[in-house]
């Protein structure tokens, strides 16, 4: 599922399950293993998915097994989002396509987000499928989404094309699909050259309130 490589001090975590890159237990385990390696031998992280799909959200096959199973998966996913959000090194995301629900949260948890131009949808569809978002979802949304779009995106389940996702705050840049990885890598390399301890400290200071709220909800 996960292809791990290091280039110019950037750990590239490219996940591809051949389908929708659904966030299930195996997905979360693979990304956490990649982050463990990245923190040992790199200075920045670059996340990406397969062509056309960054991630379509939590694995519904697991969610539909019952409330306890669903709660366990969502809690484990929340811990992964928290780890990314507070990771003491730069995290760049290259959204190679659709990013829905948990896929959109992966973007919100990353520091700098590039998206491929195309007929893709990005956003939070939980209200539309009858789900209330947990604390981690609210805190990431409040921290990263434009205030003008928070109600539409978080409450009203609006899905955006890449340009709209940039306006809403899910993405920072939209680029041609054939330039996505190169531009995201260039940014990750540039960020990797910043002093690591200062980057980690200032990132933590900026996000401390949200990190604490998510930690408390998981506890």
Number of domains, the chain: 1
Residue 46 confidence class, pLDDT cut points 50, 70, 90: very high
Among residues of the chain, what percentage have pLDDT more than 70? 100
| pLDDT at residue 198, as a whole number | 98
Beta-sheet strand order (sheet of 44-48): 2-7, 10-15, 44-48, 91-95, 112-116, 173-175
pLDDT, tens only, 55-98 = 998 888 888 888 898 899 999 999 999 999 999 999 999 999 99
- As a whole number, mean pLDDT of residues 24-37 equals 96
Residue 131 confidence class, pLDDT cut points 50, 70, 90: confident
Instruction: Determine which helix (DSSP H) or strand (DSSP E) holds 11, and give its type and residue range.
Output: strand 10-15
Q: Give the separation between CA 188 and CA 206, rounded to whole angstroms.
A: 20
| pLDDT at residue 67, as a whole number | 85
- As a whole number, mean pLDDT of residues 150-166 equals 97
45 token code pair: 């992280």
Residue 129 confidence class, pLDDT cut points 50, 70, 90: confident
First CA to last CA across the chain, in angstroms? 29
pLDDT at 218 over 90: yes
Q: Is the dihedral of CA 134, 30, 54, 179 positive or negative?
A: positive
Length of the chain: 219
Strand, helix or coil for residue 112: strand
CATH label of the domain that carries residue 200: 3.90.226.10
- When the pLDDT of each residue in the chain is averaged and rounded to a whole number, the result is 96
Domain carrying residue 208? 2-218
pLDDT, tens only, 7-29 = 999 999 999 998 999 999 999 99
| pLDDT at residue 62, as a whole number | 84
- From residue 99, how far is each of 32, 36, 51, 126, 138 by CA, in Å? 19, 24, 12, 13, 17
pLDDT, tens only, 89-115 = 999 999 999 999 999 999 999 999 999
Residue 217 confidence class, pLDDT cut points 50, 70, 90: very high
pLDDT at 219 over 90: no
Give residues with Cβ within 8 angstroms of 138, minimum separation 6. Answer: 154
Cβ atoms within 10 Å of 154's Cβ, excluding its own: 20
The answer to whether 186 and 92 have CB atoms below 8 angstroms apart is no
Give residues with Cβ within 8 angstroms of 56, minimum separation 6. Answer: 20, 21, 22, 98, 100, 101, 103
Q: Give the separation between CA 75 and CA 218, rounded to whole angstroms.
A: 7
| pLDDT at residue 64, as a whole number | 82
pLDDT at 180 over 90: yes
């Amino acid at each position: 599922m996960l292809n791990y490589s290091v280039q110019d001090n950037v750990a590239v975590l490219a996940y591809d399950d051949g389908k929708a890159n659904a966030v299930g237990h195996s997905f979360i385990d693979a990304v956490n293993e990649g982050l463990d390696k990245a923190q040992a031998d790199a200075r920045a992280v670059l996340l990406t998915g397969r062509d056309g799909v960054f991630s379509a959200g939590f694995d519904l096959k697991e969610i539909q097994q019952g409330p306890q199973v669903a709660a366990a998966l969502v809690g484990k996913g929340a811990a992964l989002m928290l780890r990314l959000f507070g990771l003491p090194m730069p995290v760049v995301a290259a959204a190679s396509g659709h990013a829905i629900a948990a896929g959109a949260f992966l973007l919100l948890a990353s520091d700098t987000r590039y998206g491929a131009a195309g007929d893709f949808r990005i956003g939070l569809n939980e209200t539309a499928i009858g789900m209330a978002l947990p604390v981690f979802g609210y805190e990431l949304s409040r921290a990263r989404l434009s205030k003008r779009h928070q109600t539409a995106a978080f409450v009203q389940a609006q899905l955006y094309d890449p340009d709209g996702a940039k306006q809403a705050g899910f993405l920072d840049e939209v680029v041609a699909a054939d330039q996505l990885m190169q531009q995201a890598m260039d940014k990750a390399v540039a960020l990797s050259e910043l002093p690591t301890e200062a980057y980690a400290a200032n990132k933590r200071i900026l996000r401390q309130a949200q990190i604490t709220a998510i930690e408390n909800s998981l506890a």
